[in-house]
A and B are shown apart, each in its own frame.
Chain A
C-alpha cells in the first residue's frame, strides 16, 4: 500500500480513551446493567404481592453476601447513571461542552457517585 500521509482517525485499540469517553461508555454499561436489574425489581414486587414464602426467600437472598454484592453494584450503577445522566441533560441544553467544564463535570460526577454510594451504605448498615 502506498504511503498514506493523511491522518488516520484514532483507532480504539491503540488510542487511549480520554476520561470523558470512558465515562460515556460507562453510562451505557451502567444503563444496560440497570435495565437487567429491573428483573430483580419485578421479582421483589411479585414476591411481596403473591407469595410470603418467595418474599422470605427474597429477603434472605438480598441479605446474603451475594445479595449485598448485587445491591452494592446496583447502588453504584444507579448513582453513576443518575449523576452522569444529569450531566447529559446539561449537555442537551448546550452547557458544559468546553473542555475545562467537561473535566470539572467528570470530577463532580465521580465524586458525587462515591459520596452518594458511601452515604447510602453507611445509613443502610447503621439501621
Chain B
C-alpha cells in the first residue's frame, strides 16, 4: 500500500460505491452491458421492421405474437429505454449546470422513460396474450 499518502480508509471503502454520484462504476457498466445487448437486438429489430413495412394489422399481430418476437421485443424495450436513460443522464449532467434544472430534467427523463417503456411492453404483451 502507498505509505506516502496515509489514510484511515481501507482501499475497499475507497472503491465501493463511491464517486460523486455514490454509485461507483454502476452507470458506466450498465451503459456498456445494455450497449452490448443492443448490438444484436438492433440488427434483429431493423430486419423485422423492414419485413413488416406496409404490413396490415393482422400480419403485425401475428408477428408480435410469435413467442420469440414477443420475448425479444420485451428485452429490446427494456434495453432501449434503460440505455437511453443512462445516455440522456450523461448529456444532462454535462450541459445542464443549475442544480434545480439538472435534478428536474433527470427526474422527468426517468419518469418519461418508465412511462414509455411500460406502455410499450404492455402493448406487446396485450397483443401476445389477447390478440390485440
Residues of A within 8 A of B (CB): 28, 31-32, 34-35, 38-39, 41-42, 45-46, 48-50, 52, 55-56, 59, 63, 75, 78, 82, 85-86, 88-89, 92, 120, 123-124, 127
Contacts and interface: CB of A to CB of B under 8 A. Distances in A.
B118 to A, nearest CB: 10
B105 interface: no
Most A-side CB within 10 Å, residue of B91, B119, B123? B123
- Chain B interface mostly helix, strand, loop or mixed? helix
Contacts, number: 79
A28 B89 CA distance: 11
Nearest to A62: B53
Size category of the binding interface on chain B:
20 to 34
A74 to B, nearest CB: 10
Given A55-B60, A123-B50, A31 B87 contact: yes
Given A46-B119, A48-B60, A38 B124 contact: no
B126 A28 contact: no
Nearest to A88: B35
Contact of B84 (A35, A50, A88, A123): A35
Most B-side CB within 10 Å, residue of A32, A48, A59? A48
Closest 8 CB pairs of A and B: A49-B123, A45-B123, A35-B84, A42-B116, A42-B120, A31-B87, A124-B50, A49-B126
A118 to B, nearest CB: 13
A50 B60 CA distance: 13
